Structure 1
């Protein structure tokens, strides 16, 4: 006679299916990190998804600008006086106003968004290349500001004492500067002197580098103050004390222990600083101290379009709308990232 081995009863036997599902879900939630929780929140946030898609499309346009303009067939710096049938695009008797098109913009099957007054350059091509310039300057300035602000803030908060006092006074001095006035005064001077010293023929390439440096140099102090405050709190935590007791040096503690805990703050600040730098670049180009002709820039296009607002309103509308959509998308994404990383928010 063969004796069967009885199976031990499962601890879940007799429990309803709903309870089992809730228990499994609770275990899954308990195992998620803060990053996974934040990503899950972002995926449920429709505004964040739409903003991210818009930003990715804008970045794709900037990266693929030469290919897009090649498909369009009109380089951004090419003067166009005649259309494909040999008809004039501009009314020379009225100062070069575009002929025909929507609201007198000269738009057609060839020039989708019309042409510029006086010279006939394709607005679509210049708008696409302006995306590349505006994003490049904004991202470069943001990277410089974030790197400077993070390093200086962590050093001040971790070491304390006279180091903290010295760096904190430096932050106060930088925050007291009227940054826009200094940027307007320094950018053309540095660009012209640098062009003479380096022998760079293209002034706008150097101007883009100067704009990145100046925007980053005047934009790090606010972040440094935030990082300093959080570092003062983190340096007293148990994991930092444990690292010190094991013989870890300041460099290891700062970059291996403190920096990972500051990444959420840095990510939120970066997403909010980029649109500010985009607007600053457009304002500087509009005022004539940023990107100059013939390089396309949204601020440069808005500045040129201000003289033709009555005869060709779409010339101002397209770069203005591109600037508005880009800044709005970054701001909305920054707000969503900040809410997703907030530990006080509900995790349901």
Structure 2
């Protein structure tokens, strides 16, 4: 009679407890890439999940802004002087302050977040459309900065020599610029010249493009410095030496060997740069060199609300809260992504 494992017996039955534990651990580790391990850590992070949900909701609001505003029934640029009953919304004797509502903001079943002083535009509609403008400008500036910083940093670190010296000095120059002052000075000038040369009316579309370009142009140097340092290390690794020994050219090595190993760094930097650009766009619009009337943006709304903070505090509260929640969610998600990709740098 031959001895063997019965049909109903598991292959692991009869093994010592220590062996079973080692087998289970081996099954968990087997076939898991660094990306899968990082994703597993990220899914266990409650802060990351909550931040991702908030960001997803904000993106959906920006994408479906026209449909959301239709539920309210008041376009963002429409002046409203009367409510559905024909009663006035604004007190013209007090400078156009909204009548009634929470804290004198004009909130009602028609205007959920109230109306703006003087013109009666619906705050909810302008807040929703402001989400689209703020995210679009921030995303465009971030893409430009990441592309420029990645390409320049890789070229500088990989080729070295005079190329590295020249590009490194360029990074130093860009990092030494007071970028906010240059953005404030260049944005209206470039928008005005572009309007004259291209024949585009200044309807804020050109101004949005200029903001994207300026934010991206002044935001790439810090990432380029990081990418350069990592490229200096990666170019000495065995897989890069093997590719070069097989006759691979610089383009293949940079974009097929080096770039994939930089993706975790680029992902983290992108999640941290987006809220920075959102805040920068709001600051520029607040200072009057960003998005102008009648296009809605959070910074423009905050600037307009500063004159009415005593009589209508909710007018400032809603765009300020939206900006705060968005920036906080992106920053928390960026920290969580960094911790998932590099657990040694985890938060306590």
Displacement of 1:16 in angstroms is: 4.7
Distance of aligned partners of 1:288 and 1:161 in 2 relative to their CA distance in 1, 3 Å threshold: same
Displacement of 1:196 in angstroms is: 1.4
Displacement of 1:2 in angstroms is: 12
4+ runs of 1 displaced by more than 2 Å?
1-13, 16-22, 24-28, 343-348
Q: Are the counterparts in 2 of residues 83 and 89 from structure 1 also a CA contact under 8 Å? A: yes
How high is the TM-score relative to the length of structure 1? 0.95
Q: Are the counterparts in 1 of residues 200 and 206 from structure 2 also a CA contact under 8 Å? A: yes
Does residue 210 (structure 1) correspond to residue 210 (structure 2)? The answer is: yes
Instruction: Give the SS at the match of 2:135.
Output: helix
Distance of aligned partners of 1:120 and 1:27 in 2 relative to their CA distance in 1, 3 Å threshold: same
Displacement of 1:23 in angstroms is: 1.6
Q: Are the counterparts in 1 of residues 69 and 128 from structure 2 also a CA contact under 8 Å? A: yes
CA distance in 1, matches of 2:122, 2:66: 14
Distance of aligned partners of 1:53 and 1:6 in 2 relative to their CA distance in 1, 3 Å threshold: closer
Deviations 1:108-153 (A, max 9, x none): 0000000000000000000000000000000000000000000000
Aligned CA-pair RMSD: 2.5
CA distance in 2, matches of 1:101, 1:8: 73
Displacement of 1:31 in angstroms is: 2.1
CA distance in 1, matches of 2:92, 2:159: 68
Q: Are the counterparts in 1 of residues 74 and 125 from structure 2 also a CA contact under 8 Å? A: yes
Q: Are the counterparts in 1 of residues 338 and 345 from structure 2 also a CA contact under 8 Å? A: no
Displacement of 1:22 in angstroms is: 4.8
Deviations 1:235-268 (A, max 9, x none): 0000000000000000000000000000000000
Displacement of 1:14 in angstroms is: 1.7
Instruction: Give the SS at the match of 2:204.
Output: helix
Distance of aligned partners of 1:8 and 1:98 in 2 relative to their CA distance in 1, 3 Å threshold: closer
Q: Which residue of 2 aligns with 1:247?
A: 247
Distance of aligned partners of 1:4 and 1:33 in 2 relative to their CA distance in 1, 3 Å threshold: closer
Distance of aligned partners of 1:35 and 1:4 in 2 relative to their CA distance in 1, 3 Å threshold: closer
CA distance in 1, matches of 2:141, 2:65: 21
Distance of aligned partners of 1:37 and 1:345 in 2 relative to their CA distance in 1, 3 Å threshold: farther
Displacement of 1:18 in angstroms is: 7.5
Q: When the two structures are aligned, how many residues end up with a matched partner?
A: 348
Q: Are the counterparts in 1 of residues 134 and 298 from structure 2 also a CA contact under 8 Å? A: yes
CA distance in 1, matches of 2:80, 2:347: 58
CA distance in 1, matches of 2:145, 2:122: 35
Structure 1: tracts of 5 or more residues without a match: none
Q: Are the counterparts in 2 of residues 195 and 203 from structure 1 also a CA contact under 8 Å? A: no
